[in-house]
Structure 1
Amino acid sequence: MRITSCHGEHALTRRGFTRTLRTDRAIDIPAFESIDLQLGGSVFSASSCYLELADGNPKEIALGPSHPSAETPSWAPLLRDMISGTVFHRPQENWNAQTVAHALSTTPERIRTALFTQGMAFTHICRTQRLMRALFESIQFKLSVADLRDRVGWGSKGDLEASFYDWFGVSLQTVARLRDDGL
């Protein structure tokens, strides 16, 4: 097997020793030898490598998006997941396509287009992740609706209670009762 690092940091553990693979450098592994390959990537910094087996057909292994092409940006395939995870972990921040576009060195229009091709909208992803965070926060902590709204970044004009009920089919009061009953 031949491993070629394409982008990002990779660590290969073989025979008890770990070494870092350099970008665009290949390493050959004898047949049936046991290895561990760690691809180090993050939300906005993908990592990928090619594995070429004895049949000569390279197989791409990636943590993050695949190589860029003329039509599809490298970040496009995982854009929804990147945005979802980021908004869930920091829901109180002001998220918009401009912020994500700046982080990915692209334009807001390309962000919206990539999401549209996946059948998603930026606002829908943010709303869903904020509601999910509201569910987890309301289960864990005894918070007023106003405090919960602030913690999850819900706009002051939006009705968190009605949206929560529409999305989950239970009210925030029901979640509070379940929490108090020792759910």
Structure 2
Amino acid sequence: MSGLVKKYAPVAYALIAGAVFLDSLRFKFTNAPETQVIFGKLDGWAASFGASGLFTQTGLFSQYVIGTAELVASVLLLLGIVPVLRRLQTLGALIAVAVMSGAVSFHLFTPLGIDPNNDGGGLFAMAVTVWLASIAYLVFHRKTLISIVTGIGRAILPGLSTGSDTA
């Protein structure tokens, strides 16, 4: 039983998280009214402390920036279904945690609230689901995550020794 869970849980996670992200793109990339409401509320909130424009269509955290991050995450998650590309799921999960940490935080700690589009909190529930599943994925695949982060660290700071290197 445990072997089946280890084999198929990452696939199920990738399919669910990828589907949630890909489904949201139709709203973000078409400038749907629901997206306008959400990012408009966030920009109004940001303007209240002098950061007007942060969530507008050309802002640092625009629907297009967030949508692109979700697209990249979903592509990595889905490519990682192929066993030889499994490490890509870890990168996708890392991006998913970052994006969904922002989404959950904005729903909870700004005037956005958990039901900005009167959908019964469905959007918030999906964000929490993907966020928790992504965190769980990273916990279970922490060795891969550490390996990736260590590799990136060595690429950025090539002089950094791991203790086993001799220079």
What TM-score does the superposition give when structure 2 sets the normalisation length? 0.27
**Higher relative CO (CA 8 A, sep ≥ 6), structure 1 or 2?**
2
Q: Which has the higher strand share?
A: 1
Larger radius of gyration: 1
Task: Give the TM-score of the pair, scaled to structure 1.
Answer: 0.25
